[in-house]
Every structure is written in C-alpha cells, then in structure tokens.
C-alpha cells in the first residue's frame, strides 16, 4: 500500500498548481462559495465545532467551515495541495491547521465532525478509512460530499460529461489538471470508477457509522451551473450529493 499511496501523493502534488482552474474542483464565484457555506451550515454541527477535513486538497470545505466559525484541521496526502490551502486561508484571514498524512491515519481528536469531498474513490481501503474516522470521533458526525461521474454516473450523465469536454476543446479551454491514474494504480482502488450513493451508504454502514442520510445538493448544482458559459449551462453539472451519518 505504501507504493500506491506514494504514487497517489505524487499525482496530486503535480496537479496542485492547476487544480483550482477546473469548474467543480473549486468554487469559481462568490455564489458557489455561498452555496457550499450553506451546505456546511445545514449539515455540520453548530459552530464552533472541532472539524477534521480529510483529503482536504486546496481547501474548499476547510475554508468554508472556517468562515462559518468552526475550528478546522485539514489532512491531505499532498503537501502542495496543503500549501495552496494555507495561502488562501491567510489571504482570507481564517485559521486552518494543516497536516500532511494518510487518510486512514487521522489525528486523534476527538472530533465533533469528520468531513470529506471527492476522496473515497482514490483510497485503497475506503471502508478502513471510514472506520478510522469513526474511531477518532466517537460522539461526532460524518459528512461526505460527492458527485456522480465515471461508470457510477450512468450513460446519460457520461454523455453530458463528454459533450462538455467537446465544448471545452472547441473553445480551446483545457481541463484544470492533466493526466489520469494508470491502470495499475486504478486496479488498487476499489472505487476508482466512481461512487454511487448506494455504495457510499453501504461503506459508511460497514465502517460502523449509524443512520446514514442522503441529500441531493441542488443548491450547489445551481450555483455551479450559473457560472458556465452557454451552451455548457444547458448541459448542467454533475449530480452532487451529501451523505451524513452519526
């Protein structure tokens, strides 16, 4: 597993410089930020709470939670991602503690909430990671933010994504970061082809969390689509959803 994690960390270190340029990776407008703050205000415990953001990346969740008054610690495998998070946090005037480390080795807490976005697909053992988060938040909650993509999205959603890619090519707009996991690396990741709400609920339950709840994030989808040019806006954006548990 060490080699797999090293390769994953290297990939995201290389992607950090352009990661935020892609719509969907990071909010592009104040409206998108407002939508994400609204999600966290609804689904996290009341502020101030001790919140761990696992696989924090450049900090979309960490920054939104910090602005809401939470005490946030961001954990990520890629130091370059965390460096960008620190730069943005300093510019925004909020405090976020950053820790470079593995998702399945979280800091001890105890945490009032553990949250994560678009991480489970790139974990060698997603259930094991979820179980480790349960251990450091015995009385806390879980919040997972995901979207449908890849094989998990279904043919209609995949067609929409392909059409969006063609439109970007016609405009000469490149994707936010280049490259993909190779087949050998993907083979080590059980959810590499995408995650469905059903798969996440099953994994959360298997890991020992209770009463999983699912919510489609229509407000986030709406905010994201409004910043797209025409005709991309007509295609819409990936279905986005949250899974919360106790």
Q: To the nearest whole percent, how much of the chain has pLDDT over 90?
A: 73
| Domains with residue ranges and CATH for the chain | 2-245 (3.40.50.150)
Q: How far is CA 76 from CA 8, 12, 158, in A?
A: 11, 10, 29
Provide the whole-model pTM: 0.91
pLDDT in the model for residue 149: 77
* CA distance linking residue 28 with residue 228, whole number of Å: 10
pLDDT in tens, 41-68: 999 999 999 999 999 999 999 999 999 9
pLDDT digits (tens, 9 = 90+) for 164-223: 666 666 766 655 555 589 999 999 999 998 899 999 999 999 999 999 999 999 999 999
- Written in H, E and C, the secondary structure of 163-179 is HHHHHHHHHCCCCCCCC
Q: Where are the beta strands (DSSP E) in the chain?
A: 50-54, 71-76, 96-100, 113-117, 141-147, 213-216, 240-245
Q: What is the C-alpha to C-alpha distance for residues 210 and 138, in angstroms, rounded to an integer? A: 11
- Position of tokens 């696992």? 54
Give ∠ CA 35-210-64 in degrees, rounded to 5.
20
């Amino acid at each position: 597993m060490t080699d797999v994690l090293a390769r994953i960390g290297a990939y995201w270190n290389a992607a950090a410089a352009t990661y935020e340029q892609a719509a969907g990776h990071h909010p592009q407008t104040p409206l998108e930020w407002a939508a994400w703050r609204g999600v966290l205000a609804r689904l996290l415990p009341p502020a101030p709470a001790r919140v761990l953001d696992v696989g924090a990346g450049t900090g979309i969740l960490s920054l939104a939670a910090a602005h809401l008054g939470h005490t946030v610690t961001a954990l990520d495998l890629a130091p370059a991602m965390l460096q960008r998070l620190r730069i943005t946090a300093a510019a925004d005037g909020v405090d976020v503690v950053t820790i470079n480390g593995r998702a399945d080795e979280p800091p001890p807490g105890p945490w009032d909430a553990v949250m994560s976005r678009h991480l489970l697909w790139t974990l060698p053992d997603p259930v094991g990671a979820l179980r480790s988060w349960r251990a450091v938040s015995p009385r806390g909650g879980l919040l997972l933010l995901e979207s449908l993509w890849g094989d998990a999205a279904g043919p209609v959603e995949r067609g929409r994504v392909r059409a969006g890619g063609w439109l970007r090519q016609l405009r000469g707009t490149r994707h936010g970061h280049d490259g993909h996991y190779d087949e050998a690396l993907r083979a080590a990741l059980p959810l590499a082809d995408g995650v469905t709400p059903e798969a996440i609920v099953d994994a959360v339950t298997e890991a020992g969390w209770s009463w999983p709840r699912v919510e489609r994030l229509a407000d986030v989808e709406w905010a994201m689509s409004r910043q797209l040019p025409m005709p991309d806006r007509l295609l819409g954006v990936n279905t986005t959803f949250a899974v919360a548990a106790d």
